[in-house]
């Protein structure tokens, strides 16, 4: 591929390839190779993220809240307590001040929810030919409670907990865009995972990731490649809200490949799974949590369908394109 197309940024196989071929090839720092949600530096976890979303305001979320949650979630699932973050704004000329203020207020509200402080930032304004809507870039730092991005901690027989129903964020954005002429709204699942994690016993958690772009399918395939083990999911237990499920079906999407913004995959020991699930369900944002499956020896991500058949859950190859067929 000689130019970068949208599939290179959608969290699937092409994104992965681009990172390996261009970025890791030239930036071969050991910590970067982990490709975790955050890097570990001494006692701290350090992360960065960028947020580009149109529209900037959508049900239960906006780009400001998304930026704070996205950053703090990366730190949380790495096993750290989110503490400080930066905020860089790239704004197209002509952007309404009123909207910017709405976004910034939302940053504040969201940061307050987990006691994160925005401590540095930057503002750039660019001509509106080169940018249509606002972009936010962040970095975040937090003290490590327990490292949860260690692939060696994953063992065959461990169980997978998913902390919420899946695929809501991706479908919320798609509806909010209005391009496909649907009416109705789905609320994004965007939330602070730290408010869920803080009531868990970290000793019982072996590994965690948040399942953002590319959905559950992408994150499990990534983990599988790194830990050289596989996953078996049970379709029967996977929770997808009805409106999300039917909309996915109508467009030909697999909910496992649709983005989330407040959904974590947690891997725990088999004998601890019921206790952890019970706790998760009691925490904020965890009421729809479920046991999704288990770690298997063979390095492949599979799903046992409701009817007992097995199928592959492949790394999504790129963009979700609505199908007629």
Which positions touch other proteins (CB under 8 A)? Answer: 1, 3-7, 12-14, 17, 175, 179-184, 186, 242-243, 245-247, 249-252, 254, 298, 300, 302-312, 314, 317-319, 321-325
Element (H, E) at 58: strand 57-58
> Residues near 96 by Cβ (< 8 Å), separated by ≥ 6?
none
State in angstroms the smallest separation of the CB of 226 from other proteins. Answer: 18
Q: How far is the CB of 294 from other proteins (least distance, A)?
A: 16
Q: Which helix (H) or strand (E) holds 223?
A: helix 215-227
State in angstroms the smallest separation of the CB of 211 from other proteins: 19
Burial 298-310 (b: 16+ CB within 10 A, else e): eebbbbbeeeeee
The CA distance from 27 to 41, in Å, is 17
Closest to other proteins by CB, 26 vs 242, is 242
245/269 with CB nearer other proteins: 245
Q: Which is nearer to other proteins, 235 or 275 (CB)?
A: 235
Q: Which is nearer to other proteins, 155 or 243 (CB)?
A: 243
The rounded radius of gyration (Å) of the Cα atoms in the chain is 19
- Cα distances (angstroms) measured from residue 167 to each of 147, 160, 269: 27, 17, 26
Q: Which residues contact 23 (CB under 8 A, 6 or more apart)?
A: none
- Least distance from other proteins to the Cβ atom of residue 219, Å: 17
C-beta of 64 vs 293, nearer to other proteins: 293
Minimum CB separation of residue 233 from other proteins in Å reads 12
């Amino acid at each position: 591929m000689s130019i970068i197309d949208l599939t290179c940024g959608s969290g699937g196989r092409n994104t992965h390839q681009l990172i390996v071929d261009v970025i890791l090839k030239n930036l071969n720092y050991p910590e970067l190779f982990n490709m975790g949600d955050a890097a570990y530096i001494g006692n701290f976890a350090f992360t960065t993220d960028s947020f580009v979303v149109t529209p900037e305001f959508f049900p239960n979320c906006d780009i400001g809240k998304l930026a704070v949650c996205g950053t703090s979630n990366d730190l949380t699932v790495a096993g750290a307590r989110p503490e400080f973050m930066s905020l860089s704004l790239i704004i197209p000329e002509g952007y309404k001040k009123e909207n910017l203020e709405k976004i910034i207020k939302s940053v504040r509200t969201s940061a307050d929810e987990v006691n994160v402080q925005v401590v540095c930032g930057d503002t750039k304004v660019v001509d509106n030919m080169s940018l249509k809507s606002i972009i936010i870039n962040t970095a975040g730092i937090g003290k490590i409670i327990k490292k949860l991005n260690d692939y060696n901690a994953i063992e065959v027989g461990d169980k997978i907990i998913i902390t919420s129903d899946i695929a809501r964020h991706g479908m919320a954005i798609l509806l909010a865009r209005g391009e496909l002429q649907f009416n109705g709204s789905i609320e994004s699942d965007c939330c602070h995972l730290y408010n869920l994690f803080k009531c868990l016993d970290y000793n019982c958690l072996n590994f965690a990731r948040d399942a953002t772009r590319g959905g559950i399918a992408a994150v499990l395939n990534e983990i599988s490649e790194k830990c050289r083990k596989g996953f078996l999911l049970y379709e029967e237990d996977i929770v997808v809200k009805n409106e999300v499920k039917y909309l996915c079906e109508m467009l030909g999407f697999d909910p496992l490949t649709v983005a989330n913004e407040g959904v974590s995959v947690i891997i725990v020991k088999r004998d601890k799974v019921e206790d952890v699930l019970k706790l998760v369900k009691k925490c904020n944002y965890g009421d729809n949590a479920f046991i999704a499956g288990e770690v298997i020896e063979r390095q492949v991500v599979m799903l046992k369908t409701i009817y007992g058949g097995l199928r592959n859950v492949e790394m999504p190859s790129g963009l979700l394109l609505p199908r007629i067929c």
